[in-house]
Amino acid sequence: MTFTIDYNVRKNRIEVITNGINEENANDYNEQFAEIMELVKPGFTGITDVRTSKSVLSPEVAALLAPTGEMATAAGVAGWVYIADAPVWIMQMKRLFGNFAVHYKTREEAIAYLDSLTINTIYN
């Protein structure tokens, strides 16, 4: 599979790892994402790791994936991060996510940020 979407119930966190999403599997991604949106509780966090992806998203695929941000917002996302180390991915993810997601170069930094959001959500 070119992507995985996992939901950690205990942390109320979605983790996406992608090796490449294309026009053939973008609808599968959207369907799996929508199913997970039915499981999350408001205040959930998410992480997308694109470091192993062989290529960036085509404009067509980016357009197909755009509704996932709206789904996450409607479900009560508290924060989302993406992990990317290639400049072209960083630029594309910024274009795709805008201010919706924060960029980190390492998983450790990304997890620390998301954990801080979870703690703030619990205590605020």
Summarised one tens digit per residue, pLDDT across range 23-64 is 999 999 999 999 999 999 999 999 999 998 877 888 898 899
Identify which of 111, 104, 100 has the alpha carbon closest to the alpha carbon of residue 77. 100
Strand ranges, E, within the chain: 3-8, 13-18, 45-49, 79-83, 101-104
Q: What is the pLDDT of residues 77-90, one digit of tens each?
A: 999 999 988 888 88
Cβ-Cβ contacts under 8 Å for 66 (sequence gap 6 or more): 96
Entry pTM: 0.87
Report the 10 Å Cβ neighbour count for 45. 26
pLDDT-derived band at 123 (thresholds 50, 70, 90) equals very low
Q: Is the pLDDT of residue 120 over 70?
A: no
Handedness of CA 103, 85, 29, 5 (dihedral sign): negative
